[in-house]
A = this chain, B = another copy of it.
């Protein structure tokens, strides 16, 4: 589905026909040097992809990749056209989970085609924002590329912050007194971190390339901006790496905690058992059938025995409490 399609002249959207529906549909508009056309597509059908490929003369292999929503991030160049695959990430609070989408960008001399799969980033909003910054847009297609990368990486940083908070929670839970089943949670977090890493890591190389200005369309000024994106990406990847290491350490601490708890339980159980078993011995003694057992004939022999048991149990209880076994 085509979401929007417009022509930009000197950083400004060119008004076409009536104001209600400004988009060009599937058409390619011949444009003056310096102008460019930006087509936004969402979850395209194979036919739509085919159409757009023919319109902008896109390479079939790139188009095939753009139709598949399980690509890894990458940058490729087919003739004059750059093809960039980006993973979008966002954090779903309700589920404490990271979800992923995909944006494919075809960046030619005088056009940009953005193909979005799933949600994650509001490209329409990104376009509107850009349309208000003519001084950026007038740098042409590479400015669109930069704006989208910047926005995607900003989302990565937000996801990184959410994961940092999740790891903090896990940490607290691991070192709390409560018996918590943290291994499940740590596993899920590790899985999500792996997913974020799969989005972030392969993108570093393309951003570095843009930052070093590998393309003749990247001016020194533009490269500076891409360097900023590359730097943020680097920061995210370092955060992710250190979270991963922290989780491993937290898991080890969790394992140690389980062992310690088992030990404490065992000691509590043993102390509890002693409280029962020792009085049982006393009862056994007074259940012996000797002819001459003076206590048996005491008037208060029975209460004495019960008190003896209680006293022993009480003494043990105090002792165990003091030595930390109960």
By a beta-carbon cutoff of 8 Å, the part of chain A in contact with chain B is: 59, 61, 65, 71-72, 74, 76, 78, 171, 175, 181, 183-184, 186-187, 190-191, 194, 198, 224-225, 227-228, 231, 234-235, 238, 242, 245-246, 249-263, 265-267, 269-270, 272-274, 276-281, 283-302, 305-306, 309
Which B residues touch A61, using CB under 8 A?
224-225, 228
Contacts A261-B263, A288-B287, A306-B285 given; indicate if A74 touches B231 (C-beta within 8 A). Answer: yes
Contacts A194-B245, A253-B184 given; indicate if A289 touches B296 (C-beta within 8 A). Answer: yes
Q: Which residue from B198, B257, B284 sits with its C-beta under 8 Å from A287?
A: B284
Q: Tell me, in angstroms, the Cα distance from A242 to B250 when the chains sit together.
A: 20
Q: Tell me, in angstroms, the Cα distance from A184 to B173 when the chains sit together.
A: 12
Q: Tell me, in angstroms, the Cα distance from A298 to B276 when the chains sit together.
A: 26
Q: List 26 A-B contacts (CB under 8 A).
A: A59-B224, A74-B231, A171-B187, A175-B187, A186-B253, A187-B250, A190-B249, A251-B256, A256-B258, A258-B259, A259-B262, A265-B267, A266-B269, A269-B270, A273-B274, A273-B277, A276-B281, A285-B305, A285-B306, A286-B288, A287-B289, A289-B296, A290-B296, A290-B305, A291-B297, A293-B302
Q: Are A194 and B242 in contact (CB under 8 A)?
A: yes
Which B residues touch A283, using CB under 8 A?
281, 284-285, 287-288
Contacts A74-B231, A288-B283, A297-B291 given; indicate if A259 touches B259 (C-beta within 8 A). Answer: yes
Q: Tell me, in angstroms, the Cα distance from A67 to B59 when the chains sit together.
A: 40
Q: Are A302 and B274 in contact (CB under 8 A)?
A: no
Contacts A175-B184, A262-B263 given; indicate if A301 touches B305 (C-beta within 8 A). Answer: no
- Copy total for this chain: 5
Which B residues touch A249, using CB under 8 A?
186-187, 190-191
Shortest distance from the beta carbon of A250 to any chain B beta carbon, whole Å: 7
Instruction: Specify the chain B residue showing the minimal Cβ separation from A78.
Output: B224
Q: Are B276 and A276 in contact (CB under 8 A)?
A: no
Q: Are B265 and A265 in contact (CB under 8 A)?
A: no
Q: Which residue from B181, B187, B246 sits with its C-beta under 8 Å from A260?
A: B181
Q: Tell me, in angstroms, the Cα distance from A254 to B263 when the chains sit together.
A: 14
Q: Which residue from B76, B238, B254, B288 sits with its C-beta under 8 Å from A302?
A: B288
Q: Which residue from B59, B181, B266, B281 sits with its C-beta under 8 Å from A280?
A: B281
Q: Are A276 and B279 in contact (CB under 8 A)?
A: no
Shortest distance from the beta carbon of A264 to any chain B beta carbon, whole Å: 10
Q: Tell me, in angstroms, the Cα distance from A256 to B262 when the chains sit together.
A: 12
Contacts A269-B270, A276-B277, A292-B301 given; indicate if A256 touches B183 (C-beta within 8 A). Answer: yes
